[in-house]
Amino acid sequence: MDAAELLGIFEAERDRGLALVAGAATLDDLEAAQVEVIGRKSAFSAAQKSLGGLSDEDRRVAGKAANEARQAIQGAIDERREALQLVAGAALLEADRIDLTLPGRRPRTGSLHPLTIVEREIVEVFLRLGFRVVEGPEIEDDWHNFQALNIPPDHPARTMKDTIYPAIPGRADLVLRTETSAAQIRTMQSQPPPVHIVSPGRVYRRETSDATHLPVFHQVECLVVDEGITFAHLKGTLEIVAKALFGQSRRIRLGPAYFPFVEPGAEVGVSCFKCDGAGCRVCGNGWIELLGSGMVHPQVLENCGYDSERYTGFAFGMGVERFAMLRYGVTDLRAFFENDLAFLRQFA
Ligand code: FA5
């Protein structure tokens, strides 16, 4: 190819290149235009390579023209790239724009579990009466859970409240506590009378679940020990607690019951909140059996180092789930442990 032909190519490619660059609407278009017009395989580059075949004078003139054309194209590309980058940046900002005037999304807050609400409510009543809250361990030893409570190893009451024995090497004496009464023992061991405590917590029994029984449930235990404590104090306290929890018009009734750690022992019923003792679907016979109670057995006081000739006491233990069941009209205790959010949110 002679110099004139090459000059023609450089000029034509420059014009074609400038037009392509000007028409590039995106950075990708621009990239393609650059490859096409001045890329290694372009007509322009091929023409530039053949400059070598020209005479010195022609090569100088045509080479200069080639460089100028290439610079013009490259300059146009750089300019266009800058402009397109601005556009792309603005588009990105636009796409990412946050509308600060939109209302915020409120995070969903949790709420207390109904059993926690009820347990606190029960404990609150005792706090108002001047009781102190104590908590005992859920893994107890046989002595605190059974023996100190007047339930020796061969006592039939063990079968009524059989439990789960954790497999801890070398500690065959450990049991998951069957009732919060073990907290009585620990409290009496740790302090002299008078005692006014309430002890909430989880308990375990080898029990098959049904609508009113669970193998894991909660109790709140109450214990009072002092000089001159009588059954009248027990009944009076139960009345106050029942009225505080179920309403001022509630009545209580006591029936004989056996617990090895009290003498005498009583099962306590509360007149039904629904039918006021007439009998209905909730209670059956007008009364709701809620808790076990009694005068602390002298042997239990002695087991804890208290002088049973000088001190007497009463204790009772109530089921938190049973109370929650009555409070909320829940017909099956298992609902409290199924973690069904639709159920739980009702208590929020
Ligand atoms: C006791 O656990 C005695 N410690 C109560 C007591 C304390 C008596 C102090 C005397 C002095 P009982 O096994 O009845 O007693 O349980 C007490 C309450 O726990 C029951 O009235 C009931 O409300 C609840 N309860 C018992 N078993 C279950 C169960 N499997 N599931 C849910 N609640 C239960």
147 confidence band (pLDDT: 50, 70, 90): very high
Over residues 7-23, the pLDDT tens digits come to: 899 999 999 999 999 99
| Cα 77 to ligand 1 centre (Å) | 87
- The closest-lying atom of ligand 1 relative to the alpha carbon of residue 293 is 10
Contact, 346 vs 330, CB < 8 A? no
Over residues 68-127, the pLDDT tens digits come to: 999 999 999 999 999 999 988 988 888 888 888 888 888 888 899 999 999 999 999 999
Per-residue confidence (pLDDT) for residue 12, from 0 to 100: 92
Indicate the pTM of the whole model: 0.72
| Cα 59 to ligand 1 centre (Å) | 109
Q: Residues 84, 89, 92, CA angle at the centre, nearest 5°? A: 125
Per-residue confidence (pLDDT) for residue 337, from 0 to 100: 93
- The closest-lying atom of ligand 1 relative to the alpha carbon of residue 289 is 21
Pocket of ligand 1 (CB under 6 A): 179, 181, 205, 207, 213-214, 217, 219, 221, 259, 262, 265, 290-294, 315-319, 321-322, 333
Over residues 167-197, the pLDDT tens digits come to: 889 998 899 999 999 998 999 999 999 999 9
Query: For ligand 1, atom 19, which residue shows the shortest CA distance?
Result: 319
**Bigger pLDDT: 134 or 207?**
134
Over residues 287-312, mean pLDDT: 95
Q: Residues 128, 130, 132, CA angle at the centre, nearest 5°? A: 110
Over residues 242-271, the pLDDT tens digits come to: 889 888 888 889 999 999 999 999 999 888
Kindly tell me if the per-residue pLDDT of 283 is higher than 80.
Answer: no
Q: For 234-260, b where at least 16 C-beta lie within 10 A, e where not — what string? A: bbebbeebbbbbbeeebebebeebebb
Contact, 293 vs 268, CB < 8 A? yes
Residues 6+ apart with CB under 8 A from 187: 134, 195, 197, 199, 223
Residue from 159, 188, 206, 217 to probe ligand 1 pocket by mutation (most atoms less than 8 Å from CB): 217
